[in-house]
Structure 1
């Protein structure tokens, strides 16, 4: 068996990817007031934060921007391992149902409030209890948090769970000043954390200006003095924007990559652990018939998504992890190969036909993926009507839709990714409370296995295998995390799923 670290390592050229079906883009001239200066990062992003409170906005792709302002208890290194951030170390009790995080000494938030165990306690409690929290579902195994002295935060668990150090990274526990968080609505537009930068100006939805935080615990390795983050609605202007110096770093639509390379810009794929999928509701007809699900599984030609949507930068996806990742299950690499004949045969054995095989595919915006699904299912006799609902999230998370498309930016905890997709209360499981038989037992085994245990990789891959028995999701492709930068910016660390500015220089 490959070692844990070997399985976790991501290749520098990894073509894995982001999510939500959105096309990465960049901005035009509206952000061109960017100041000159060799240490100024001028970042154009199609994911400009709509929320700056990490409890509200930290779960989606925007967590990468919030990480400019907020630090977390832990973060992941380029191999996907949990490493220190605000917490310099942590340890479990003998039973594995209690973990103590030991914080660094002498840290303060940018408003002068101490970074201490009480601040961590309040951050976790707010993520669990705040009415508009996007994170509460990720913290269900946390029973309570207590403090021991000023710097030790003790997390008491309702079950053995060795995934907590991975869970408490940037995606789930960016820690805000408790003083500022006392008014969450104010925090939402005026963020206060202990990150590498401090916000000096926000124009909601448009622009944020940040200065280097001299009190950040790792300030010595932050070489950027200023960040100008701007919203980027138009993907067609990214290349010209970088050529003219309007910005020097941007999310890039794969369709623009060749033009950017031709202009002498640095185009790179940042590792990620994401996959798009076709979500099915097995509680509604026709997907309550396993034969219809089987037909759909064989009807999906994943390569068509890659060829038409990723311009050679993406990969096919058969599970929610890239092949190089520790949780990827090689035994499940090709469970449901594309086979129109098998798809038609399975559909012929189902109890549905005619009008019962007419379904609505509800999505939030126009999406070429939907048209590919429509065409591929039509080829086996299922009629798909694409419907756009700007309020799509409400029926999706209420599990009221028959089918939809979904993609995620992944999680630092692979178990969190699995339970989100396949668990009975998983937010990405359109068929709640359905779950595959054997999944809960496999998940419990992962929780009970320390990350350094030699059996961890095999145990985790078995949970992936059990999850993939789910009839509620059909994975399609990985949309790459493509970025472009001016050559004056040095290479970024290959932290999977993240944008990390530690050590990055602008010459």
Structure 2
């Protein structure tokens, strides 16, 4: 009997996530009502530099780009792939081909039809455009065939992660007509999402109106959006109080002031994780004892206490505890033990003060000072160097020692391969990978997401990945947003901002 995986079954797939998500309504008064205008006035610290989703990539700006763009799938409050532009999908018997069935009658904001040809063009552009930031996420895709409203994605291997992968983080779909001029699209988004851009001032402001042709327009109650690049952080809360904004992303240091101002604080569940990146291809980290010395020197709780203002948590994995990919067996594998760290350094032939390392980071970061202090306590001298062009040597794998923070991926396996795979962008030690990782990752791809074995297979891949000598995870901080009381509660979809059903000013 043919074994087909449909969207209906994926809805019921048990990809559980148990993460804290609270919506506190604190204080009273002081918040502007917004006058019932239905306008979202959003101050963002992540104002997009690029509006072409292929160029922007899957970083934090995907939330802002999702105002204009829709995807084949989106993510529900359990982290599962559910229908968006595609109303259903199914795999072939062997699991190396998936067909997405698009909703009929949809169009992009420039009038171009949303059909199989448009999706094929979007995938091929993400794979092939010279300045694409997404090509590394799509290596499993061999070919795409369009047939009316059907899109057939042929794979290089069995991969049941594709519906998770081709969601909002990786495949926001632009109009192929607009994408014919990528430079123009990069500053003027044209998608089939819930809103249409009417004005974009690069780096400063973007204005949107509701898209009446969005497939779920009946559940979008916001009439317009004014997205503004956040000014100095100290002025965001006052702007929310006076009604200049009614929604803003915050740093943990601003959360207390937002509460005192009577604003609602939205603590969004997510997959954020910070780490210390080591290059095992270069001295001194080509010595396993030095790597382990760093592992045992790290006091994760200090990062939480000093940097997250009570909103973060210590972590030694790229997933929150309780998420399907989190491996309980790997918890606290390298506990804080400075004496053991000193012993390992001695066994490696280093006396206190012998090791002097440059920690290269893109901008001033208090996390770097904590690393500097903790390693100094075990006899390693760290010199912090800020390099504004840090991305070039980091992604070229030329650095020896650095810091990195990630917002994760909708596909748990994609998160793992990005960190631990031999070509992973977050693996500073490329082409190094932990022994057995590729085999464990392949087994995840071969396991349907609705299989009863999926959780154990995925956790086994996490377990293998965490043997990597290239990353030491430190702490996790949630995504924090403040809103005034005119805006209703947002869906608690992990890492995503979903405006479905949200009202402003009692509308």
Q: TM range, normalised to the smaller chain?
A: over 0.9
Moved more, 252-261 or 40-49: 252-261
Q: Aligned equivalents of 2:345 and 2:226: distance in 1?
A: 54
Kindly state the Cα deviation for residue 37 of structure 1 after the two structures are TM-superposed.
5.0
Q: Aligned equivalents of 2:108 and 2:133: distance in 1?
A: 23
Q: Is the 8 A contact 1:9 1:78 kept in 2?
A: no
Runs of 4+ that moved beyond 2 A: 3-15, 35-38, 351-356
1:189 to 187, 190, 200: 187
Query: Partner of 2:7 in structure 1?
Result: none
Kindly state the Cα deviation for residue 58 of structure 1 after the two structures are TM-superposed.
3.2
Kindly state the Cα deviation for residue 228 of structure 1 after the two structures are TM-superposed.
0.2
Per-residue CA distance 1:361-397 (angstroms, 9 max, x = gap): 0000000000000000011111110000000000000
Q: Aligned equivalents of 1:273 and 1:69: distance in 2?
A: 23
Partner SS state of residue 8, structure 1: coil
1:450 to 425, 448, 451: 448
Query: Partner of 1:8 in structure 2?
Result: 17
Kindly state the Cα deviation for residue 274 of structure 1 after the two structures are TM-superposed.
1.5
Partner SS state of residue 308, structure 1: helix
Q: Aligned equivalents of 2:354 and 2:219: distance in 1?
A: 60
Whether 1:138 and 2:147 are equivalent positions in the alignment is no
Structure 1 unmatched ranges of 5 or more: 16-31
The aligned runs of 1:112-127 (5 Å cut-off) are 112-127=111-126
1:394 to 371, 392, 395: 392
Query: Partner of 1:75 in structure 2?
Result: 74
Partner SS state of residue 406, structure 1: strand
Query: Partner of 2:4 in structure 1?
Result: none
Whether 1:262 and 2:271 are equivalent positions in the alignment is no
Query: Partner of 1:47 in structure 2?
Result: 46
What is the TM-score normalised by the length of structure 1? 0.94
Kindly state the Cα deviation for residue 355 of structure 1 after the two structures are TM-superposed.
7.1
- Aligned residue pairs total 487
Kindly state the Cα deviation for residue 360 of structure 1 after the two structures are TM-superposed.
0.6
Moved more, 350-359 or 275-284: 350-359
Q: Is the 8 A contact 1:326 1:461 kept in 2?
A: yes
Q: Is the 8 A contact 1:285 1:356 kept in 2?
A: no
Q: Is the 8 A contact 2:23 2:266 kept in 1?
A: no
Q: Is the 8 A contact 2:313 2:475 kept in 1?
A: yes
Q: Is the 8 A contact 1:317 1:478 kept in 2?
A: yes
Query: Partner of 1:24 in structure 2?
Result: none
Q: Is the 8 A contact 1:298 1:337 kept in 2?
A: yes
Query: Partner of 2:410 in structure 1?
Result: 412
Kindly state the Cα deviation for residue 4 of structure 1 after the two structures are TM-superposed.
6.6
Kindly state the Cα deviation for residue 262 of structure 1 after the two structures are TM-superposed.
1.2
The aligned runs of 1:56-455 (5 Å cut-off) are 56-148=55-147, 150-353=148-351, 357-455=355-453
Q: Aligned equivalents of 1:164 and 1:128: distance in 2?
A: 15
Q: Is the 8 A contact 1:286 1:352 kept in 2?
A: no
Kindly state the Cα deviation for residue 324 of structure 1 after the two structures are TM-superposed.
2.1
Kindly state the Cα deviation for residue 8 of structure 1 after the two structures are TM-superposed.
2.8
Partner SS state of residue 304, structure 2: helix
Kindly state the Cα deviation for residue 14 of structure 1 after the two structures are TM-superposed.
10
Q: Is the 8 A contact 1:107 1:114 kept in 2?
A: yes
Kindly state the Cα deviation for residue 127 of structure 1 after the two structures are TM-superposed.
0.2
Kindly state the Cα deviation for residue 235 of structure 1 after the two structures are TM-superposed.
1.2
Q: Is the 8 A contact 2:278 2:400 kept in 1?
A: yes
Q: Give the 3 Å change call, closer, same or farther, for CA 178–497 of structure 1 in structure 2.
A: same
Q: Give the 3 Å change call, closer, same or farther, for CA 208–47 of structure 1 in structure 2.
A: same
Q: Is the 8 A contact 2:47 2:204 kept in 1?
A: yes
Q: Aligned equivalents of 1:297 and 1:119: distance in 2?
A: 47
Measured on the aligned residues, the alpha-carbon RMSD in Å equals 1.7
Per-residue CA distance 1:218-272 (angstroms, 9 max, x = gap): 0000000000000013111121111100000001121121111111110121010
Moved more, 65-74 or 251-260: 251-260
Per-residue CA distance 1:32-87 (angstroms, 9 max, x = gap): 9xx96520000001000000000010311000000000000001100011000000
1:465 to 463, 466, 482: 463
Per-residue CA distance 1:269-320 (angstroms, 9 max, x = gap): 1010120000000001100000000000000000000000000010111100
Q: Aligned equivalents of 1:269 and 1:240: distance in 2?
A: 20
Q: Is the 8 A contact 2:279 2:429 kept in 1?
A: yes
Q: Aligned equivalents of 1:355 and 1:272: distance in 2?
A: 39
Q: Aligned equivalents of 1:317 and 1:333: distance in 2?
A: 9
Per-residue CA distance 1:130-183 (angstroms, 9 max, x = gap): 0000000000010010112x1000000000000000000111000000000001
Q: Aligned equivalents of 1:89 and 1:211: distance in 2?
A: 28
Q: Aligned equivalents of 1:147 and 1:139: distance in 2?
A: 17
Q: Is the 8 A contact 2:440 2:460 kept in 1?
A: yes
Q: Aligned equivalents of 1:238 and 1:54: distance in 2?
A: 27
Q: Is the 8 A contact 1:81 1:166 kept in 2?
A: yes
Q: Aligned equivalents of 2:259 and 2:23: distance in 1?
A: 18
Query: Partner of 1:27 in structure 2?
Result: none
Structure 2 unmatched ranges of 5 or more: 1-11, 25-31
Per-residue CA distance 1:396-451 (angstroms, 9 max, x = gap): 00000001100111100000000000000000000000000011111010000000
